[in-house]
């Protein structure tokens, strides 16, 4: 009897297109789920007969309560080599091997700039107007050259976003709790004296921090109030870093020029979520990691992980 492999959140139904699963065909049956299971009961029912699960990023938590309801599960594969929503101790206790895959930081860098440019130049609004016989030129784009780009975080993604900003002729500064002048100098950007200074002095602020105790709610009402009325905020990192209610208030009251977000407190975003109708907002459905190259890596290495597990020598084990 073949093992059953469930692929979660395969919204585009491409898991079997971006990888060659033929080497497993006589041993593993692949079942793709193109809808998100919003609660543990639905997820447990869908995975009841799964021996292997492939999950995308950190969208689906695997707490101890869920793992206890999946007695057949033996191998859990997460895309990326960092996952904070899997209970590793519970997985080990239930005999579940957890593996990861490589993940490129290039796609989120590129999406950050797609959002920043789209927001600055009113691309969606102008395109929609053009296609619906709306007004010809209804917005005036914000310039990048000579403006200040403030980066929260200067890691792998933040530093590459900085390089693009410098290429546009922007003044780039960065801040995080542990950022040093040496690191800022290495990237070629200014070290902001404080979070408050960075927010108050930037024309564009882009978030590139990992979510943790120190960054959760980092940008609350007081911090967003420091932004210029002409400033733009971009978040392709984690929604919880920015207080969602405070962001909505700033957008509705016109206290900032606009925001672009790719991450949300609940994903997929509920149909009645207020961010769906917020003014001055450019939003995308968590596309930061969604690219042909990343999907080729995720699913290709998922196949490799399954082959290695079946051979008795698991690879890319987490944590």
- The model's pLDDT over 292-304, given as tens digits with 9 standing for 90+, comes to 999 999 999 999 9
pTM of the model as a whole: 0.95
Please report the pLDDT score of residue 318 as a whole number: 98
Asked whether residue 113 carries a pLDDT value surpassing 90, the answer given is yes
Alpha helix (H) residue ranges in 191-257: 195-201, 221-224, 244-252
Mean pLDDT (the chain, rounded): 97
State percent of the chain over pLDDT 90: 99
Mean pLDDT along residues 223-250: 98
State percent of the chain over pLDDT 70: 100
Please report the pLDDT score of residue 86 as a whole number: 98
* Tokens coding 37: 């299971």
| Pairing mode of beta strands 148-152, 75-78 | unpaired
Mean pLDDT along residues 124-151: 97
Please report the pLDDT score of residue 198 as a whole number: 98
Per residue in 153-174, is it b (16+ CB within 10 Å) or e — as a string? Answer: bbbebbbbbbebbeebebbbbb
Mean pLDDT along residues 81-106: 97
Please report the pLDDT score of residue 89 as a whole number: 98
Give the active site residues. 238, 267, 286
Which residues have a Cβ under 8 Å from the Cβ of 15 and sit 6 or more positions away? Answer: 7, 30, 32, 54, 299
Q: What is the DSSP string of 12-40?
A: TS-TTTSS--GGGTTTEEEEE--S---SH
* Tokens coding 261: 């977000």
C-beta separation of 234 from 116 below 8 A: yes
- pLDDT-derived band at 140 (thresholds 50, 70, 90) equals very high
Q: 268 exposed, middle or buried (CB, 10 Å; 0-12, 13-18, 19+)? A: middle
- pLDDT-derived band at 106 (thresholds 50, 70, 90) equals very high
Mean pLDDT along residues 27-52: 97
Asked whether residue 38 carries a pLDDT value surpassing 90, the answer given is no
Mean pLDDT along residues 266-278: 96
């Amino acid at each position: 009897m073949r093992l059953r492999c469930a692929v979660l959140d395969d919204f585009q139904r491409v898991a079997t297109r971006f990888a060659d699963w033929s080497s497993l065909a006589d041993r593993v049956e692949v079942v793709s789920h193109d809808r998100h299971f919003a609660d543990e009961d639905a997820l447990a029912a869908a995975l009841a007969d799964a021996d292997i699960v492939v999950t995308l990023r950190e969208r689906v938590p695997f707490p101890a309560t869920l793992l206890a309801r999946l007695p057949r599960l033996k191998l859990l594969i997460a895309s990326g080599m960092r996952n904070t929503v899997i209970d590793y101790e519970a997985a080990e206790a239930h005999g579940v091997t957890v593996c990861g895959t490589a993940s490129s930081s290039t796609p989120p860098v590129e999406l950050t700039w797609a959002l920043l440019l789209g927001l600055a130049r009113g691309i969606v609004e102008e395109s929609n107007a053009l296609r619906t016989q709306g007004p010809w030129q209804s917005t005036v784009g914000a310039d990048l050259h000579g403006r200040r780009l403030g980066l929260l975080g200067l890691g792998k993604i933040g530093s590459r976003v900085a390089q693009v900003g410098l290429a546009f002729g922007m003044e780039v500064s960065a801040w995080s709790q542990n950022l040093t002048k040496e690191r800022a100098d290495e990237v070629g950007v200014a070290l902001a004296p404080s979070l408050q200074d960075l927010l108050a002095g930037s024309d564009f602020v882009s978030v590139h921090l990992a979510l943790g105790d120190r960054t959760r709610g980092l940008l609350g009402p007081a911090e967003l109030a420091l932004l210029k009325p002409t400033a733009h905020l971009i978040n392709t990192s984690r929604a919880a870093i920015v207080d969602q209610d405070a962001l909505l208030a700033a957008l509705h009251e016109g206290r900032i020029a606009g925001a672009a977000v790719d991450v949300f407190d609940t994903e997929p975003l509920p149909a009645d979520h207020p961010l769906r109708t917020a003014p001055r907002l450019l939003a995308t459905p968590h596309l930061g990691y969604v690219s042909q190259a990343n999907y080729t890596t995720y699913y290709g290495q998922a196949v490799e992980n399954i082959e290695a597990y079946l051979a008795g020598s698991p690879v890319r084990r987490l944590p």
